[in-house]
């Protein structure tokens, strides 16, 4: 689920914080970095569980409606298509999701169930819901398409949910686009099955990605002074004190990849950090950073300092 770009963003944020606090305890800062990455997976789990809780709330709502003293014929015999949605039931019965939520003791939707009610109201009054409930029977494909539409059109862009997530943990706002994309990808891959052990996507693609997070953080932090000297002289129209701290962190990380990560192509490094700068720094930062990294990479190539192995890595 986690991409290398998101790992780079998390490391950049940690290096920026390290510079601001002037901390020299790398072990502590590395633990916090990995913790913040793990927190992103928590956001993935609670947003997935939110679909389960909305279905449960809808089932409870229908049950109470049936017990009304003056219940209408529609309330007595409601259309149960939504609460019988196969994809929602697969999520609700998923052993891995249950165990993860229990293990992490994440009960936010029990404590903050008003957000479940808000979303159920928005879903039940939506055109997507009306069209879906027009019949009482459905195929697995229709169930899946409906859940995808609900998530993309109602849950993911919900302002109140966004504010709730921001209040819960500030760093989650940066993680939300990736988490939502991860949920959509997972839902698209869901297949009709009675297997309660449907696998959830893992946080890291493999052990190499987790190692990359540690390595790029430590190697950039430990060589920060040396990398800062590399920047000097490459910015004739800029005083070094005028360079934004975030831009410095981005440039240092790119230099670190040039020197310390032989398997990562130069073009990949430059493109990744330019995209990060466009999203997180000032409007002109990407142009400024591109100029510096271009100069440094060419200089390294000329003097043999560019540590790359394999074809196509230059």
Q: pLDDT tens digits, the chain, 314 residues: what are they?
A: 899 999 999 999 999 999 998 888 999 999 999 999 999 999 999 999 999 999 999 999 888 777 676 767 665 677 899 999 999 999 999 999 999 999 999 989 999 999 999 999 999 999 999 999 999 888 999 999 999 999 999 999 999 999 999 999 888 998 999 999 999 999 999 988 765 567 889 999 999 999 999 999 999 999 999 999 888 877 755 555 557 889 999 999 999 999 999 999 999 999 999 999 999 988 888 898 999 999 999 999 998 888 787 654 55
Instruction: For tokens 């190692």, name the residue.
Output: 211
- Domains of the chain, each with CATH number or no CATH: 7-189 (no CATH), 207-303 (1.10.940.10)
Looking at residue 92, its pLDDT comes to 95
- DSSP secondary structure, 99-160, as one string: HHHHHTT--HHHHTTHHHHHHHHHHHTSHHHHHHTTSS---HHHHHHHHHHHIIIIITT-HH
Q: Of the candidates 314, 198, 199, which has an alpha carbon nearest to the alpha carbon of residue 267?
A: 314
In whole angstroms, what is the distance from residue 47 CA to residue 182 CA? 11
Q: What angle do CA 169, 175, 179 make, to 5 degrees?
A: 115
Two tokens at 34? 């990995």
State the pLDDT at residue 312: 45
Q: Which two tokens stand for residue 236?
A: 């004739």
CA 257 to chain centre: 23
The pLDDT of residue 271 is 97
d(CA 90, CA 190): 9
CB under 8 A, 24+ apart: contacts of 187-196: 187/87, 187/144, 187/147, 187/148, 187/151, 188/144, 188/148, 190/87, 190/90, 190/144, 192/86, 192/140, 193/90, 196/93, 196/94, 196/95
| Global confidence as pTM | 0.85
CB 28 within 8 A of CB 273: no
Which residues, 6+ apart, have CB-to-CB distance to 9 below 8 Å?
174, 276, 280
Distances in Å between the Cα of 188 and the Cα atoms of 42, 142, 144, 149, 184 are 21, 12, 8, 11, 6
What distances in angstroms separate CA 238 from CA 114, 242, 283, one per listed residue?
52, 7, 16
d(CA 126, CA 131): 9
Q: 22 with 41: CB under 8 angstroms?
A: no
HSE of 52, CA atoms in CB hemisphere, 13 A = 19
Residue 139's pLDDT is 94
| 3-state helix, strand and coil shares in percent for the chain, rounded to the nearest 5 | 70, 0, 30
């Amino acid at each position: 689920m986690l991409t290398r770009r998101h790992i780079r963003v998390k490391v950049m944020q940690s290096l920026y914080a390290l510079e601001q606090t002037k901390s020299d305890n790398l072990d502590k800062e590395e633990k916090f970095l990995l913790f913040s990455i793990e927190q992103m997976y928590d956001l993935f789990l609670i947003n997935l569980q939110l679909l389960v809780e909305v279905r449960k709330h809808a089932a409870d709502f229908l049950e109470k409606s049936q017990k009304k003293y003056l219940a209408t014929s529609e309330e007595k015999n409601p259309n149960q298509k939504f609460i019988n949605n196969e994809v929602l039931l697969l999520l609700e019965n998923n052993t891995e999701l249950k165990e993860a939520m229990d293990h992490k003791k994440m009960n936010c939707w029990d404590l903050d169930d008003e957000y479940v009610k808000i979303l159920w109201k928005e879903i039940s009054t939506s055109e997507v819901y009306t069209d879906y409930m027009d019949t009482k029977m459905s195929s697995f494909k229709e169930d899946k398409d409906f859940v995808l539409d609900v998530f993309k059109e109602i849950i993911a862009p919900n302002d109140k949910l966004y504010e709730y997530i921001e209040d819960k943990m500030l760093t989650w706002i940066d993680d939300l686009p990736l988490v939502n994309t991860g949920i959509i990808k997972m839902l698209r891959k869901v297949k009709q099955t009675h297997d309660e052990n449907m696998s959830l996507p893992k946080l890291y693609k493999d052990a190499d990605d987790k190692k990359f997070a540690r390595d790029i953080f430590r190697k950039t932090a430990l060589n920060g002074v040396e990398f800062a000297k590399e920047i000097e002289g490459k910015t004739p129209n800029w005083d070094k004190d005028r360079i934004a701290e975030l831009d410095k962190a981005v440039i240092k990380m790119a230099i670190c990849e040039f020197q310390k990560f032989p398997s990562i192509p130069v073009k990949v490094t430059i493109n990744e950090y330019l995209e990060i700068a466009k999203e997180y720094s000032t409007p002109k930062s990407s142009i400024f950073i591109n100029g510096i990294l271009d100069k440094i990479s060419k200089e390294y190539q000329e003097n043999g300092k560019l540590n790359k192995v394999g074809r196509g890595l230059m």
